[in-house]
């Protein structure tokens, strides 16, 4: 019998499981993928997320496979370019998600978590015979194809922006707007790369670049819905070739892996859970990747879900309400910030105004970059 089942072994799930196991809980963590597994991501961890890893004594597992990120460069149209370095004592990290997730899963196993990959969670095991519905475990696909019921007093859904648990229980939905997709791939031979991450904001799209271990460059192009998504390689090539700033830097570059696509990049959660179930990571609301702080949301959200679960195991009532309060207290400022940036990018007039402001008073954009990176 497990005290908590964590569905999803990404950063949110792995950190929630680790904190729970260290707190004395018996934890089962499940993921449908086989680990280590690749995942489309910007591959950067901002300073706020690095601080969380350090505090949880998980940074030692991540650092050997990562390189430093010392700040950000943000460019816009009309030649706007603002550079923001975090400072000598502050840094982010760049690491492929394949390596990051594997390291965090290993940390969870070290803490005593039982991890099973290649397991499909079909849905929640609910009991609504008496009073309001309550989650009492999960239903998984057995090795022989039959459904298997796995009971537990608490379940944490950290199963991503297409969460089977959150969506099937009516706790989350994919909104009609905004609807963006990301196409990403690795390149070699990109010139002008440095220890700074890059975000190039253009009308209708933005392009993120980051140096990653091995001397390659992670490139992500984020666009609205378009037929061009049927051929992500051609979409990326057109975006890079059509950008006057980036075109010469990619003149001799070569894509070294097939591109992948994810989307739509949106999930709205109406609550932090329900009796017996807590949400964490993208399942609790997907964060637009433009700000680069999605991993910090995931890691801290995993911590908060674990704290609420431990309180519930100790006898505290309504852990999902406790978690909702903690998330509002922790994330409200960032939620408003992300929504504001999203509106700016979505509307040409707002983007023009922001471009003019960045030209006139670039320190505003520097402050914005620092805030997005959780730099004090």
Q: Are 235 and 330 in contact (CB under 8 A)?
A: no
Q: Which two tokens stand for residue 100?
A: 């990051």
- Which phi-psi region, left, alpha or beta, contains residue 374 (left: φ > 0; alpha: ψ -120 to 50)? left
pLDDT score for 356: 66
Question: Which residues are within 8 A (CB) of 314 and not within 5 positions of it... i.e. 6 or more apart?
Answer: none
Q: Where do the domains of the chain lie? A: 4-69+96-176+266-343, 180-264+347-372
Closest CA to 195 of 46, 66, 69: 69
Question: Which residues are within 8 A (CB) of 253 and not within 5 positions of it... i.e. 6 or more apart?
Answer: 187, 188, 189, 190, 191, 217
Fold for domain 180-264+347-372?
Alpha-Beta Plaits (3.30.70)
- The three-state secondary structure class of 252 is coil
Give tens-digit pLDDT for 129-172: 665 689 999 999 988 878 999 999 999 999 998 899 999 999 98
Identify the helix (H) or strand (E) that includes residue 140. Answer: strand 134-141
Dist CA 189 CA 255 (whole Å): 9
- The three-state secondary structure class of 357 is helix
- What b-and-e string marks burial along 138-172, b requiring 16 or more CB atoms within 10 Å of the CB? bbbeeeeeeeeebebbbbbbbbbbebbbbbebebb
Does the N-terminal peptide bond of residue 36 adopt cis geometry, omega within 30 degrees of 0? yes
pLDDT score for 368: 76
Dist CA 263 CA 184 (whole Å): 12
Per-residue pLDDT of the chain (376 residues; tens, 9 = 90+): 899 999 999 999 999 999 999 999 999 999 999 999 999 999 999 999 999 999 999 999 999 999 999 999 988 877 788 888 888 789 999 999 999 999 999 999 999 999 999 999 999 999 866 656 899 999 999 888 789 999 999 999 999 988 999 999 999 888 777 678 999 999 999 999 999 999 998 888 899 999 999 999 999 999 987 888 899 999 999 999 999 999 999 999 999 989 999 888 878 888 999 999 999 999 998 766 666 778 999 999 999 999 999 999 999 999 999 999 999 999 988 888 777 776 666 666 666 666 666 666 777 777 777 777 788 6
Does the N-terminal peptide bond of residue 178 adopt cis geometry, omega within 30 degrees of 0? yes
**Degrees to nearest 5, angle at CA 133 with 129 and 135:** 110
How many CA within 13 A on the CB side of residue 82?
22
Q: Where are the alpha helices (DSSP H) in 242-318?
A: 294-313
Q: Which two tokens stand for residue 291?
A: 């700000």
pLDDT score for 82: 83
pLDDT score for 347: 64
Dist CA 104 CA 159 (whole Å): 15
CATH superfamily label, 4-69+96-176+266-343: FAD/NAD(P)-binding domain (3.50.50.60)
Q: Which two tokens stand for residue 360?
A: 């006139």
Dist CA 246 CA 96 (whole Å): 23
């Amino acid at each position: 019998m497990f005290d908590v089942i964590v569905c999803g072994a990404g950063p949110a799930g792995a950190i929630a499981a680790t904190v729970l196991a260290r707190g004395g809980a018996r934890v089962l963590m499940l993921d449908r993928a086989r680990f280590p597994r690749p995942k489309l991501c910007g591959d950067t961890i901002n300073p706020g997320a690095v601080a969380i890893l350090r505090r949880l004594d998980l940074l030692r597992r991540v650092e050997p496979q990562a390189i430093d990120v010392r700040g950000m460069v943000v460019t816009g149209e009309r030649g706007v370019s603002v550079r923001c370095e975090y400072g000598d004592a502050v840094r982010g990290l760049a690491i492929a998600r394949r390596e990051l997730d594997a390291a965090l899963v290993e940390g969870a196993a070290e803490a005593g978590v039982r991890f099973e990959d290649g397991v499909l969670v079909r849905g929640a095991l609910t009991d609504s015979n008496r009073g309001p519905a309550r989650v009492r475990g999960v239903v998984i696909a057995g090795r022989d194809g039959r459904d298997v019921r796995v009971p537990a007093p608490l379940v944490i859904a950290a199963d991503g922006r297409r969460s089977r648990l959150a969506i099937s229980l009516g706790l989350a939905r994919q909104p009609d707007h905004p609807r963006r997709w990301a196409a990403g791939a690795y390149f070699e031979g990109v010139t002008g790369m440095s220890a700074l991450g890059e975000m190039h904001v253009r009308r209708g799209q933005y392009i993120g670049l980051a140096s990653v271990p091995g001397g390659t460059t992670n490139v992500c192009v984020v666009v609205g819905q378009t037929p061009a998504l049927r051929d992500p390689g051609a979409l990326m090539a057109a975006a890079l070739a059509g950008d006057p700033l980036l075109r010469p830097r990619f003149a001799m570059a070569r894509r070294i892996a097939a591109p992948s696509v994810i989307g739509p990049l949106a999930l709205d959660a109406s609550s932090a859970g329900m009796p017996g179930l807590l949400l964490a990571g993208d399942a609790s609301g997907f964060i637009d990747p433009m700000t680069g702080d999605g991993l910090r949301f995931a890691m801290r959200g995993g911590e908060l879900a674990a704290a609420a679960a431990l309180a519930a195991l100790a006898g505290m009532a309504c852990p999902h309400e406790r978690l909702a309060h903690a998330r509002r207290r922790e994330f409200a400022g960032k939620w408003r910030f992300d929504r504001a940036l999203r509106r700016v990018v979505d509307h040409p007039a707002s983007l023009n105004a922001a471009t003019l402001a960045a030209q006139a008073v670039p320190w505003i954009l520097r402050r914005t970059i620092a805030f997005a990176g959780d730099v004090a």
